[in-house]
């Protein structure tokens, strides 16, 4: 009996295979394949960094949180339920770590220091607020964002940095879509008020 191409493939995941389905990478990771887990991380690390930086406003703090999230995810990968998307699970781990660190308080890093390290700030479609992300007002924007109460900041970041729709945000945060709408409205209003001199 001849084996088809699928049966001839080794059980491990090719590290360089960019089109390996996420589910296969997860299953291989759960069996101890470190290369497969590395592929998963590379696929999501940039998006996760943008998300956490939006919450913390600190380059160094974000790096620490993202690295710790990867370590925790690796340790818990066997508990992940296949059939679900990996990124929401990973981002929840990172978000919880971010909240824990943010409650301890940390000094925000200067824009100059972030630029020297090659940070490229996200430039989501934020209307007039978007202009600040690539201008001298960038530092002010992140300071204002960080000053928002956590519940408003999180919804804003998920919508504009993660590009999630209202139903996805509601599912992610376990709140009604109407609450997402009101929190997002409030976040935009507070940001616009805080940055009105730059938006004129």
Domains and CATH numbers, the chain: 20-120 (1.10.1740.10), 121-200 (1.10.10.10)
Task: Compute the C-alpha angle 41/112/153, nearest 5°.
Answer: 55
- pLDDT by 10s per residue, the chain, length 200: 444 444 344 444 444 445 788 899 999 999 999 999 999 999 998 888 888 888 887 778 888 999 999 999 999 999 998 878 899 899 889 988 987 876 665 444 443 444 344 434 443 444 554 454 455 567 788 888 888 888 899 899 888 888 888 998 898 788 999 999 999 999 999 999 988 887 76
Q: What is the pLDDT of residue 128?
A: 53
Tell me the pTM: 0.61
Q: What is the pLDDT of residue 135?
A: 56
Question: What pLDDT is attached to residue 200?
Answer: 65
């Amino acid at each position: 009996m001849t084996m088809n191409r699928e049966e001839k493939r080794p059980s491990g995941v090719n590290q360089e295979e960019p089109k390996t389905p996420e589910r296969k990478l997860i299953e291989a990771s759960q069996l101890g394949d470190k290369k497969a887990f590395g592929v998963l991380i590379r696929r999501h690390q940039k998006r996760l960094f943008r998300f956490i930086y939006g919450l913390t406003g600190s380059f160094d703090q974000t790096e620490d949180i993202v690295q710790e999230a990867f370590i925790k995810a690796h340790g818990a990968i066997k508990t992940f339920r296949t059939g679900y998307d990996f990124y929401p699970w990973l981002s929840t781990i990172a978000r919880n770590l971010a909240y824990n660190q943010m409650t301890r308080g940390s000094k925000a890093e200067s824009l100059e220091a972030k630029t020297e390290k090659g940070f490229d700030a996200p430039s989501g479609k934020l209307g007039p607020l978007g202009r600040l992300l690539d201008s001298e007002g960038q530092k002010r924007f992140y300071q204002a964002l960080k000053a928002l109460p956590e519940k408003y900041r999180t919804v804003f970041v998920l919508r504009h940095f993660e590009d999630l729709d209202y139903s996805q945000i509601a599912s992610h945060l376990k709140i009604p879509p109407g609450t997402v709408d009101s929190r997002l409205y409030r976040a935009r209003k507070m940001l616009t008020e805080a940055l009105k001199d730059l938006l004129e």
